[in-house]
Amino acid sequence: MREFDFLVLGSGIAGLSFALQVASRGRVAIITKKDRAESNTNYAQGGIASVTSKEDSFKLHVADTLVAGAGLCKESVVHTIIEEGPARIAELIEMGMKFSLRDLPGDGGQELDLGKEGGHSKRRILHAKDITGRDIERALLAAVAERPQIEIFENHFAIDLITSQKLGYVGENRCLGVYVLDKASGNVETFAAPVTLLATGGCGKVYLYTTNPDIATGDGVAMAYRAGASVANMEFIQFHPTCLYHPRAKSFLISEAVRGEGGVLKSITGREFMDGHHPMKSLAPRDIVARAIDGEMKKSGADYVHLDITHRPARFIMERFPNIYQTCLGYGIDITKEPIPVVPAAHYQCGGVVTNVDGETGIPGLYAVGEVSCTGLHGANRLASNSLLEALVCGHRAADKCVPPASRSVRMPIPPWHAGNAHNADEMVVVSHNWDEIRRTMWDYVGIVRTNKRLQRAQARIANLQQEIQEFYWDFLVSSDLLELRNIALVAELIIQCSLRRPESRGLNYNLDHPEPNPEWAQQDTVLSR
């Protein structure tokens, strides 16, 4: 058994910010299932929303967040996160993060170049061209490398949280650590600590089409739910309106910042179709834009719509969006000369493990921060670029709040992992078939536009698959593919359950059987626990 003072599951912005903050108080293990930089954070393009300009105010940022959240945000949480943002950003810059700057007129020096995205009334997105996430990971990992108290375990897959209740201890249900699969050796190891942070990110891979990388399989939500934590608002899956549509492109996002710099959505015949949907047109909140694109594709029968930024100077496009420009060029699309084919794709999980703004879950010793958590900031629809902000602020707050190593007394004996030991030659084909079936079912029946009948159909199919997966799980040696399959199946079930429980359309949960918001549900979360 490996013992630490703090266990951090995940090495994106949430896990790394927390680890850096607690490192002065004890030994930290960061457990991450691929290489250390691989995370949703690493692919973030648009940037971090925060109030840094004189033309902007906390009041406006709060108001924009509440409007996007469609009545379901927790106002006190929104205030805290937005108001603490500038201090956390300043620390990030001190750590070596280089946000893009712009020249001031004359000899006025330089200032932060602020981008604009959907639902924002002001320019307030700090960015590093269009690779903001990659630069954030670089800066945070460089800082982690200088802390000898932090040990990173790459290619280590967290399987399940270890709780006192699961082990049969009486008294409160505490988190004691986690069982972890070392992917290289195939062994399952026990990691123990008085504090465990879930920073495992979101669940885009539950859907057939997603902007997320392969790591996003909802493992944290699944582990927390199995451990007895509450999970809420999983029906609010955000579909990003503009994912590149190309047969060879896997999950490549075309940042909302492209629309912020003038990009316009058009039908394939060149008609600007957002005019009738929202006064902010192509820059309306994401739920509205994604639904409008879905409607346009269904009406025209086309497989995609166009995003056109060709009216801006080529030099500007190439300098502001170098990664998008080069990647599209690699697929034969010159975005300075032709419109970009785009489709909506699953992007962000607004719900998650229920926490307060300090990352505390209902299980002592267990914290959750970042996309895995549901703090109440996003409500029914996240405002663009508020997620990196939430992870930074809450990572810091959780680190300040969490019980330091003085609580060694809570350590209890933990038995080693008990594994099945059979190999199954059929495993890979069954696992990949089930993966595909879940993702397709979720895309077809639990997507941008839902109905009760489709949700029920999806629920029945997922339940059948879960039974089959469960048999596999107990009988055979665990592999990361099988573990992820078990998790996406459970997360799919939670998304469907939450969606069926909400008898209204609000934000990202749009159901043709209840097409309007229901005032009785305006303040109600859909909370599930085992």
Measure the CA–CA gap between 229 and 529, rounded to whole angstroms.
6
Q: What's 112-141 look like in SS3?
A: ECEECCCCCCCCCEECCCCCHHHHHHHHHH
Bridge partners, 343 (sequence order):
243
Q: Which one from 36, 88, 286, 397 is the annotated catalytic residue? A: 286
Measure the CA–CA gap between 501 and 525, rounded to whole angstroms.
10
Q: At closest approach, how far in Å is the CB of 359 from ligand FAD? A: 11
**Smaller CB separation from ligand SIN, 181 or 335:** 335
Question: What residues between 362 and 381 interact with ligand FAD by CB under 6 A?
Answer: 370-372
With beta carbons less than 8 A apart as the criterion, state whether 350 and 237 touch. Answer: yes
For the packed helices 75-95 and 132-145, what is the interaxial angle rounded to 10 degrees? 70
Q: At closest approach, how far in Å is the CB of 34 from ligand SIN? A: 21
Q: At closest approach, how far in Å is the CB of 72 from ligand SIN? A: 18
With beta carbons less than 8 A apart as the criterion, state whether 113 and 127 touch. Answer: yes
- Longest distance between any two alpha carbons in the chain, whole Å: 73
By the rule CB under 6 A, 40 interacts with ligand FAD = yes
Candidate residues 21, 32, 52, 164; the one interacting with ligand FAD per rule CB under 6 A: 32
Measure the CA–CA gap between 229 and 222, rounded to whole angstroms.
10
**Smaller CB separation from ligand FAD, 205 or 454:** 205
3-state secondary structure of 49: strand
**Smaller CB separation from ligand SIN, 51 or 399:** 51
By the rule CB under 6 A, 46 interacts with ligand SIN = yes
Candidate residues 23, 224, 391, 496; the one interacting with ligand FAD per rule CB under 6 A: 391
CA trace torsion 175, 194, 393, 506 (10° rounding): 0
With beta carbons less than 8 A apart as the criterion, state whether 419 and 80 touch. Answer: no
Question: What residues between 213 and 252 interact with ligand FAD by CB under 6 A?
Answer: 215, 219
Q: At closest approach, how far in Å is the CB of 244 from ligand SIN? A: 12
What contacts 436, CB < 8 A, 6 or more positions away?
Answer: none
Q: Which of the listed partners (ligand SIN, ligand FAD, none) does 359 bind, with a CB threshold of 5 to 8 Å by partner kind?
A: none
DSSP secondary structure letter of residue 197: E
Measure the CA–CA gap between 406 and 116, rounded to whole angstroms.
45
**Smaller CB separation from ligand SIN, 56 or 256:** 256
Q: At closest approach, how far in Å is the CB of 211 from ligand SIN? A: 8
With beta carbons less than 8 A apart as the criterion, state whether 381 and 507 touch. Answer: yes
User: What kind and span of H or E run contains 162?
Assistant: strand 156-163
By the rule CB under 6 A, 355 interacts with ligand SIN = no
The contact mask relative to ligand FAD for 47-66 (x = CB under 6 A, - = no) is xx------------------
By the rule CB under 6 A, 387 interacts with ligand FAD = yes
DSSP secondary structure letter of residue 46: S
With beta carbons less than 8 A apart as the criterion, state whether 377 and 393 touch. Answer: no
By the rule CB under 6 A, 45 interacts with ligand FAD = yes
By the rule CB under 6 A, 344 interacts with ligand SIN = no
Binding window for ligand FAD (CB under 6 A); candidates: 288-296, 384-392, 437-445, 502-510? 384-392
Q: At closest approach, how far in Å is the CB of 115 from ligand SIN? A: 9
The closest residue (CB) to ligand SIN is 46
The contact mask relative to ligand SIN for 243-262 (x = CB under 6 A, - = no) is ------------xxx-----
Q: At closest approach, how far in Å is the CB of 309 from ligand SIN? A: 14
Measure the CA–CA gap between 126 and 62, rounded to whole angstroms.
17
Q: At closest approach, how far in Å is the CB of 522 from ligand FAD? A: 25
Q: Which of the listed partners (ligand SIN, ligand FAD, none) does 12 bind, with a CB threshold of 5 to 8 Å by partner kind?
A: ligand FAD
Binding window for ligand SIN (CB under 6 A); candidates: 79-87, 288-296, 381-389, 455-463? 381-389
For the packed helices 480-501 and 452-475, what is the interaxial angle rounded to 10 degrees? 150
Measure the CA–CA gap between 125 and 44, rounded to whole angstroms.
12
With beta carbons less than 8 A apart as the criterion, state whether 518 and 503 touch. Answer: yes
- Phi (first) and psi of residue 356, to 5 degrees: -90, -175
**Encoded tokens for 241:** 């309106």
User: 286 an active-site residue?
Assistant: yes
Candidate residues 7, 21, 29, 38; the one interacting with ligand FAD per rule CB under 6 A: 38
By the rule CB under 6 A, 9 interacts with ligand FAD = yes
Q: List Cα–Cα distances, 23 to 26, 27, 147, 251, in angstroms.
A: 6, 6, 7, 35
In this structure, is the dihedral angle defined by the CA atoms of residues 382, 224, 344 and 336, taken in order, positive or negative? positive
Q: Which of the listed partners (ligand FAD, ligand SIN, none) does 506 bind, with a CB threshold of 5 to 8 Å by partner kind?
A: none
**Smaller CB separation from ligand FAD, 45 or 375:** 45
By the rule CB under 6 A, 387 interacts with ligand SIN = yes
Q: Which of the listed partners (ligand FAD, ligand SIN, none) does 288 bind, with a CB threshold of 5 to 8 Å by partner kind?
A: none
With beta carbons less than 8 A apart as the criterion, state whether 354 and 228 touch. Answer: no
The contact mask relative to ligand FAD for 323-352 (x = CB under 6 A, - = no) is -------------------------x----
Q: Count residues near ligand FAD (CB under 6 A).
A: 43
Q: At closest approach, how far in Å is the CB of 221 from ligand FAD? A: 10
Please give the single-letter amino acid code of residue 130.
D
Q: Which residue has the tokens 């992917």?
A: 183
**By the criterion CB under 6 A, which residues form the site for ligand FAD?**
9-15, 31-34, 38-41, 43-48, 132-133, 157-158, 199-202, 211-212, 215, 219, 253, 348, 370-372, 385-388, 391
Q: Active-site residues: which are they?
A: 286
Residues that bind ligand SIN (CB under 6 A): 45-46, 255-257, 348, 384-385, 387
